[in-house]
Amino acid sequence: METMTKTVWAVDPTHTDVIFKVKHMMISTVTGHFSSFSGSVHANEEDFSDMELKAEIDIDSIHTKNADRDAHLKSEDFFNAEQYPKMTFVSKSYDGENLVGDLTIRDVTKEVTLNIEHNGTAVDPYGQTKAGFEITGEINRKEFGLSWNAVTEAGNVVVSDKIKLNIEAQFVKQA
């Protein structure tokens, strides 16, 4: 059986944002992002219907506008960045709307479904072909061993279990 080599698209980190949102004390939302990551898409079809996506995120690059909170998120209470420095995603299927794959955080791998929208493909002024995607989804942090929490005086939990993901990704076609 002959397999065709797929076109490789590498993530463009200067035009990609990896953002998450989580409820704080159930009354407000904290937004954070990861600034260091890598990823690639392998596809032959122009509509990316045959895409395979792989991504790796450096936990140490977490940023929530609060150094103490960032340090806590990197600790054993949450990501345990020292022992598990990377979070990974490897896609298994794509139906034009939903991207199903294995997300690994700490030492836990779970199948997740993310909504993915191909925003288009264009050639930039430097002759590079780029493809843009918006990827959204939700995960339950406790399913990945991120289970620390506390309860406020009023009885609200400090951190919700539900984490919203929003990734604005641009990939550059490789020669």
Across 47-146, where does the E strand assignment appear? 52-58, 62-63, 86-94, 98-105, 108-123, 129-140
**DSSP label of 6:** P
Amino acid 2: pLDDT: 52
Query: CA distances (Å), 88 to each of 47, 66, 70, 91, 109, in order?
Result: 24, 24, 19, 10, 9
**Residue 5: burial class (beta carbons within 10 Å; 0-12, 13-18, 19+):** exposed
pLDDT score recorded for residue 24: 76
Q: What is the largest CA-CA distance in the chain?
A: 64
Report whether pLDDT(26) > 90. no
pLDDT digits 0-9 by tens, 128-155: 999 999 999 999 998 998 877 766 566 6
Q: What is the pLDDT of residue 90?
A: 98
The pTM is what?
0.90
Q: Is 3 or 115 the better-scoring residue by pLDDT?
A: 115
| Domains present along the chain, CATH in parentheses | 7-173 (2.40.128.110)
Q: What is the pLDDT of residue 5?
A: 81
